[in-house]
């Protein structure tokens, strides 16, 4: 009988129909090769070969006493004939299964071709859309709105801006030539030795495993991030390093871009000394955020920070807990700063800090323990507009904070936030005196954390400043 060869995965409909025709026509069917490839019955009903014998036609009410005496030669002949008939049917089934496999294979090919045709139609229909004829300026605005809202961008082929380079060549050309899309980068290091990575474009490299790797892998990783940074075309860069890449990697990656770095966020809890590579030659740095540092690394870190350029405006070093000497060790950087986040140990360290920061407009202070100090002399800072105090109160801390409020005057203060980690008292009387003495244009007074509404004398604050919004745990009170 005729079969269909499945070799090469190339099947013709005519081959399948011819093979199927040979099978079904021999068994009482007609395969009509019309547009529907329909299978039709002949006029007679297909019954197959006659299987009746004198033995099967006889009534056998009791198999132990048949009505016809069996003849061994006759029965043997019947069995031989039945075996031949069975072999023929099995051969037909095998041939039909081969044809069915061919039909399934051919169906898959046609289905795949259909999908490609639909994709081609969809693509070419899209070319008729005005979207493809938008001016570059309009596309640029759209691309900016496609960026994730994260402060730093993690390279991912499924997120902008990398996603925009994969849509079509015109979009890729526009995206690659937009420096503003490539000025924020979150560097998180991993190394892997797969040779099948496509290095023709940026390849995302995920979290580090902490193992030592050879130069070839580091070079591949550096190439991925370097491809991103080159597209910034000299614009100011905002970079975040969440892990601790090797010294060699840092030097290789950042050396061409040191003059561009305007913002750095660093999380190197065990390698504070590597900050030197990042901070010793960044002439355009405006913002530094340090997340996580072990106590033994504080001394080195303060040394590096004190040498930052006069372009610095924002310093976030909440993990550093400093006293007066620690604050002094960061000089002369304080004179240039406008925004500071820091942890302090003593009230006099607070006054010393703001004394060194004449241009300060926003200050966030975490107070783990404010040890009681001597009575503080009065101090006025005319530029602070926003003050946030994050505190773990004890009786001593409350007393020290009250003494600090008695010494302070902030005539330009507009927002004050108190965030209490644990439920504890707050020196409301001294704070009201600070507001009254400062005659500040306070707009919002915010209490958050473990603060009970009943413990906040809202009416007394509003009586002092009628336009004041008092917010307690997200609920505003007039």
What mean pLDDT do residues 311-318 have? Answer: 95
**pLDDT-derived band at 222, boundaries 50, 70, 90:** confident
pLDDT for position 263: 96
What mean pLDDT do residues 157-177 have? Answer: 92
pLDDT for position 206: 45
pTM of the model: 0.69
What's the chain look like in SS3? CCCCCCHHHCCCHHHHHHHHHHHHHCCCEEEECCCCCEEEECCCCCCCCCCCCHHHHCCCCCCCCCCCCCCHHHHHHHHHHHHHHHHHHHHHHHHHHHHHHHHHHHHHHHHHHHHHHHHHHHHHHHHCCHHHHCCHHHHHHHHHHHCCCCCCCCCCCCCCCHHHHHCCHHHHHHHHCCHHHHCEEEECCCCCCCCCCCCCCCCCCCCCCCCCCCHHHHHHHHHHHHHHHHCCCCCCEEEEECCCCCHHHHHHHHHHHCCCEEEEEECCCCCHHHHHHHHCCCCCCCEEEECCCCHHHHHHHHHHHHCCCCCCCEEEEEEEEECHHHHHHCCCHHHHCCEEEEEECCHHHHHHHHHHCCCCCEEEEEECCCCCCCCCCCEECCCCCEEEEEECCCHHHHHHHHHHHHHEECCCCCEEEEEECCCCCCCHHHHHHHHHHHCCCCCEEEEEECCCHHHCCHHHHHHHCCCCEEEECCEEEC
Average pLDDT, the chain: 80
pLDDT for position 230: 96
Statement: 314-478 belongs to CATH 3.40.50: no
Residue 293, pLDDT > 90, answer no
**pLDDT-derived band at 398, boundaries 50, 70, 90:** confident
**Domain locations in the chain?**
7-127, 130-312, 314-478
**pLDDT-derived band at 392, boundaries 50, 70, 90:** confident
């Amino acid at each position: 009988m005729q079969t269909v060869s499945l070799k090469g995965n190339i099947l013709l409909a005519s081959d399948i129909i011819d093979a199927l025709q040979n099978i079904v026509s021999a068994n009482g069917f007609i395969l009509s090769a019309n547009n529907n490839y329909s299978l039709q019955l002949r006029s007679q009903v297909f019954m197959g070969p006659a299987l009746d014998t004198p033995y099967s036609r006889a009534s056998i009410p009791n198999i132990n006493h048949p009505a016809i005496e069996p003849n061994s030669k006759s029965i043997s002949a019947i069995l031989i004939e039945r075996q031949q008939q069975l072999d023929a049917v099995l051969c037909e089934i095998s041939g039909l299964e081969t044809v069915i496999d061919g039909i399934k294979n051919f169906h898959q090919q046609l289905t795949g071709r259909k999908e490609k045709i639909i994709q081609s139609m969809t693509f070419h229909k899209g070319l008729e859309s005005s979207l493809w004829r938008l001016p570059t300026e309009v596309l640029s605005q759209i691309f900016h709105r496609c960026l994730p809202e994260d402060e730093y961008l993690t390279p991912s082929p499924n997120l902008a801006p990398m996603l925009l380079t994969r849509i079509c060549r015109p979009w890729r050309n526009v995206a690659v030539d937009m420096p503003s899309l490539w000025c924020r980068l979150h560097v998180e290091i991993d190394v892997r030795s797969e040779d099948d990575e496509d290095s023709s474009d940026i390849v995302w490299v995920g979290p580090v495993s902490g193992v030592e790797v050879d130069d070839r892998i580091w070079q591949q990783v550096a190439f991925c991030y370097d491809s991103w940074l080159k597209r910034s075309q000299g614009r100011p860069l905002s970079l975040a390093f969440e892990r601790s890449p090797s010294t060699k990697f840092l030097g290789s990656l950042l050396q061409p871009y040191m003059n561009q770095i305007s913002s750095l966020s660093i999380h190197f809890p065990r390698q504070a000394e590597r900050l030197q590579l990042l901070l010793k030659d960044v002439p355009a740095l405006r913002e530094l955020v340090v997340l996580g540092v072990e106590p033994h690394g504080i001394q080195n870190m303060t040394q590096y920070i004190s040498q930052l350029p006069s372009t610095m405006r924002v310093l976030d070093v909440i993990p550093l807990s400093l006293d007066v000497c620690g604050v002094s060790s960061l000089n002369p950087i304080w004179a240039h700063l406008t925004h500071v986040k820091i942890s302090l140990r003593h009230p006099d360290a607070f006054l010393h800090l703001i004394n060194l920061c004449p241009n300060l407009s926003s200050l966030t202070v975490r107070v783990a323990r404010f040890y009681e100090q001597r009575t503080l002399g009065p101090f006025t800072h005319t530029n602070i507009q926003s003050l946030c105090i994050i505190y773990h109160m004890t009786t001593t801390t409350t007393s020290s904070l009250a003494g600090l409020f008695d010494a302070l005057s902030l005539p330009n203060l507009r927002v004050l936030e108190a965030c209490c980690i644990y439920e504890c008292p707050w020196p409301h009387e001294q704070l009201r005196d600070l507001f009254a003495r400062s005659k500040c244009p306070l707009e919002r007074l915010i209490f958050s954390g473990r603060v009970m509404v009943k413990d906040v004398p809202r009416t007394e604050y509003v009586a002092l400043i009628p336009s004041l919004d008092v917010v307690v745990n997200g609920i505003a009170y007039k």
